[in-house]
Structures are given as structure tokens and as C-alpha cells.
């Protein structure tokens, strides 16, 4: 346990300097990788379910797939262990001990295996007496555990908040981050700090949180259902005035894992989650069995154009700009810029379930795209380029139930002399696919 004078010294170091205590140079764009929790939970039964239990074999396998099947090439780089990797008791010296049966080579060996493949290694702990699943927490061992993670060559630490007092988190989370930084090893720091305070009826101090965490959770754990994804989308939309200003390079809001390719979402709903997470500048942490994922879901996760939106270097989180009768429009400013005009990613989301696609018609100007030089517009799922459009051009998108159309509009340095009356679609028409058309009339409408 720390002595009072030690805690005072840490507090002076953390809060008495003008330098951000985080300052680890990490997460300049939202982190991407694979995380065990949502799909594999706390399955420790390696005797009866060896292929799916939380063990070193599972993480080695996922690391291999990340490299061999193209995920690493598009940006997924972290392999993250979540809860249930520990023995139930610390060593006689007070050290954390990986489960000896499921991680017989230890965590340093697992980190080495992952690093040899050009990937990074993440681990889980809890600012409390116990983790959420009842394994040893870091409380009382903050410096020792930070040093242990550094000795294991950990690259990413997720710190949960079970069995802890939310009122103590404003001190405890920065303190653990201080010890992580003091090791000299850059370790991305993922916090559950604000969500536990929100549950307790407290108003989180986001100015403090953004100084000490690379990312943080604001809302409920994601579950394998469309209702869960919708609740997260609603939370971020309804609270965006509080949430959006806190995001930026080095510090991100975390709406939780991607559950694309599991059991609870349809194909359209998976496309929607990927698009909205990109608009939100969210960490892209897959939690799915990559051994059995179907090709169409793999294609969503590896969509380079949508990943480029998520990873945009400006780091501006997007906002919901329209909501009416089940139709939503989300917008995110992105690069490139020309003069004082941003480019944009625009997501049209159909929250209706009435069984038929919905049409949404709007001019670029009504979406906030006002550059007189125009915008080159493309559909990021249908891979169709619609040329350079003026702010006065009206577009119409057809959005499937619980689905999405996501467009990218890149501001142009110069506008062509002649703008076509309408664009020609370059793919064969298919009534099942989402359709994008241009009309030359006025007014924003949905039906």
C-alpha cells in the first residue's frame, strides 16, 4: 500500500505541472485490433471447450489470423486479453500470476509471439479489489502492476472499474496512469472511469479524463443484439454536446467493441455499426471468432474506405445532424481541407423496421457542405464515384431497414466548368442494393 506522503508526491507530480500526465504519444488515431470479451466472455473451461476458452492458444490463433487474412494490413494491430486470464490469488510476493493451466508460458511469452508478427499486445485489469469476474484487481498494487505490465512488454492496458468506489476514480485512474508512464514503456491507457461515475449519478470530469486516458467508456457494455447497438447510437446522439468535444488525437470516446460477424446482427445492421463507429471516431476493436467469420462480414471489417474515415488524422468526432421518423443523418468533418472548408463523411441511417427501403432527399448545402468549389462524392459500401457535385445539387439515397448509406464528400480545390444534370451510376442496377440518384429539384424529404 502507498504511504500518504507518497500519494501526495504523486498528486503534486500529476497536477502541479503544465504538461499533460498522459503524454505517451499513442492513439493519435483511434486504436484498432481484436478483443476477446464480447464473443468469448469468461470461458475458462479448456478441458471441455479447448478451442473457445480464454487461453494463450486463442490469442495466438487470432494473432495469426490478423496477419494471414489481411486484418493487420488494413490497420488492426492490437490483440487484447480481457478478464479471466489470472490466477485467483497473487503470488507470495504480491505479483499478478497468469492462470498456469491456460497460459502456461506466461504473458511475456504471449507478448513476444504477438510482437514477432508485427502486432501489439493488450491486457486487462481493474481499479478495484477485484476484476469484474472476481480475479485480483490493482488496488493496493498500482506501481507493482504497472511495472509488471512493462516487464511483460504490454502495449495496451484496459482498466475496468468493478469493486471500486467511483468517488475515488478521479485520483486512482490518474495515479495508475502515472505509474504506467513512469515505467518508460509506452502503454496505451483505456479507462472505464466515466461510465462507473455516470452509473453512480456523478458528473465525470472530462477535462481530467482527457488528460489521463487515451480512451474511455461512457455507456453500457455492448451485447450481441441490434437493441444494444441502437442504445449506444442513441446515447451518443442524445449526449453529443457533452461527448463530442472530448475526442481528438490521443484521446477518444469508446462506444465499445465491434460485434460484426457474430450472431445478433443482420448484414445491414453490421454495415450500420461499422459506419456509425467510423463517424464517431471510435476505436475499432473486433470481438468475433475470426476463424469462422463469413466473407461478407469480413469485407465490412476490412472496408478500407470506411476505416480511412475512422482513422482520419483530424480526429474530429462526428455528430447526428438530423433525426425524424426513424431517419437519421450523421456527419463527420474529415480531410482534405480547402481554404476554410472541410470534407465530410455522411451516414444516412434507417432506424425503421417497416420492411421497405426509405428514400432520403437533401441538397449538399442542407448537409452543411457549402464550398463553392464543390465536392467529389462516393458511396463507401457500393464503391461508386458520382463525380463532383455543387452545394445546390440534391441527392437521394435509398436506405434499407436498419441499414445505412455512407458517403464521402471530398472538397475540391477547383470546380469543373460543367456539372452534369444527374450522375450516371457505374454499377449494374440491382433493386436489392442501396441506390443513389441525383435530382435537380429543391427541398429535403423523406418517405
Opening angle at CA 7, ends 87 and 192, nearest 5: 50
> Of residues 64, 147, 220, 221, which has the active-site annotation?
221
Q: What does the CA dihedral 311, 312, 316, 317 come to, rounded to 10 degrees?
A: -40
Can you tell me the distance from the alpha carbon of 408 to that of 344, in angstroms, rounded to the nearest whole number? 6
Question: Is residue 160 annotated as part of the catalytic site, yes or no?
Answer: yes
> Of residues 160, 254, 256, 379, which has the active-site annotation?
160
Can you tell me the distance from the alpha carbon of 229 to that of 152, in angstroms, rounded to the nearest whole number? 35
**Number of Cβ within a 10 Å radius of residue 148:** 21
DSSP structure class, residue 264: S
**CA-only gyration radius of the chain, Å:** 23
- Cell numbers that stand for 163 in this block: 469493486
Query: Do 340 and 381 contact (CB within 8 A), yes or no?
Result: no
Q: Burial-class residue 332 by CB neighbours within 10 Å (0-12, 13-18, 19+).
A: buried
Can you tell me the distance from the alpha carbon of 421 to that of 3, in angstroms, rounded to the nearest whole number? 74
Query: What are the C-alpha distances in Å from 222 to residues 39, 68, 251, 256?
Result: 11, 28, 20, 6
Which residue's entry shows cell 511475456?
108
**How are beta strands 327-338 and 319-324 bridged, if at all?**
antiparallel
Q: Burial-class residue 118 by CB neighbours within 10 Å (0-12, 13-18, 19+).
A: exposed
Question: Is residue 221 annotated as part of the catalytic site, yes or no?
Answer: yes
Query: Do 240 and 232 contact (CB within 8 A), yes or no?
Result: no
The candidate with the shortest Cα–Cα distance to 156, out of 104, 71, 215, 97, is 215
**Residues with catalytic annotation?**
160, 221
Amino acid at each position: 500500500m502507498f504511504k500518504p506522503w507518497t500519494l501526495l508526491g504523486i498528486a503534486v507530480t500529476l497536477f502541479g505541472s503544465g504538461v499533460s500526465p498522459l503524454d505517451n504519444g499513442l492513439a493519435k488515431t483511434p486504436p484498432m485490433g481484436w478483443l476477446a470479451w464480447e464473443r468469448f466472455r469468461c470461458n475458462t473451461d479448456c478441458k471441455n471447450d479447448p478451442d473457445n476458452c480464454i487461453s494463450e492458444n486463442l490469442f495466438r490463433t487470432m494473432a495469426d489470423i490478423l496477419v494471414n487474412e489481411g486484418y493487420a494490413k488494413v490497420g488492426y494491430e492490437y490483440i487484447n486479453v480481457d478478464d479471466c486470464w489470472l490466477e485467483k490469488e497473487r503470488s507470495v510476493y504480491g505479483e499478478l500470476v497468469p492462470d498456469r493451466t491456460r497460459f502456461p508460458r506466461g504473458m511475456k511469452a504471449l507478448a513476444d509471439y504477438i510482437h514477432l508478427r508485427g502486432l501489439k499486445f493488450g491486457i486487462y485489469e481493474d481499479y478495484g479489489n477485484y476484476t469484474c469476474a472476481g480475479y485480483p484487481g490493482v488496488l493496493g498494487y498500482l506501481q507493482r502492476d504497472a511495472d509488471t505490465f512493462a516487464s511483460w512488454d504490454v502495449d495496451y492496458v484496459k482498466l475496468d472499474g468493478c469493486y471500486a468506489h467511483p468517488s475515488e476514480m478521479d485520483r486512482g485512474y490518474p495515479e495508475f496512469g502515472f505509474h504506467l508512464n513512469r515505467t518508460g514503456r509506452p502503454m496505451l491507457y483505456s479507462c472505464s472511469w466515466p461510465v462507473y461515475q455516470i452509473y453512480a449519478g456523478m458528473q465525470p470530469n472530462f477535462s481530467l479524463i482527457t488528460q489521463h486516458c487515451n480512451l474511455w467508456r461512457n455507456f453500457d457494455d455492448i451485447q450481441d443484439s441490434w437493441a444494444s447497438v441502437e442504445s449506444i447510437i442513441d446515447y451518443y446522439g442524445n449526449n453529443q454536446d457533452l461527448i463530442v468535444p472530448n475526442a481528438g488525437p490521443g484521446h477518444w470516446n469508446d462506444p465499445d467493441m465491434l460485434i460484426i460477424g457474430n450472431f445478433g446482427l443482420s448484414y445491414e445492421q453490421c454495415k450500420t455499426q461499422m459506419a456509425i463507429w467510423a463517424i464517431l471516431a471510435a476505436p475499432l476493436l473486433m470481438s468475433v471468432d475470426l476463424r469462422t467469420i463469413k466473407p461478407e462480414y469480413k469485407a465490412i471489417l476490412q472496408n478500407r474506405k470506411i476505416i480511412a474515415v475512422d482513422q482520419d488524422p483530424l480526429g474530429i468526432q462526428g455528430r447526428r445532424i438530423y433525426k425524424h421518423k426513424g431517419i437519421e443523418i450523421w456527419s463527420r468533418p474529415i480531410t482534405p481541407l480547402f481554404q476554410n472548408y472541410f470534407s465530410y463523411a455522411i451516414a444516412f441511417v434507417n432506424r425503421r423496421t417497416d420492411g421497405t427501403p426509405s428514400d432520403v432527399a437533401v441538397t449538399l448545402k442542407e448537409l452543411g457542405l457549402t464550398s463553392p468549389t464543390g465536392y467529389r462524392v462516393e458511396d463507401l459500401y457500393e464503391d461508386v464515384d458520382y463525380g463532383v457535385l455543387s452545394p445546390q445539387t440534391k441527392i437521394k439515397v435509398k436506405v434499407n431497414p436498419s441499414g445505412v448509406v455512407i458517403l464521402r464528400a471530398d472538397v475540391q480545390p477547383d470546380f469543373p466548368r460543367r456539372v452534369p444534370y444527374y450522375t450516371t451510376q457505374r454499377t449494374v442496377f440491382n433493386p436489392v442494393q442501396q441506390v443513389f440518384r441525383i435530382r435537380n429539384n429543391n427541398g429535403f424529404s423523406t418517405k
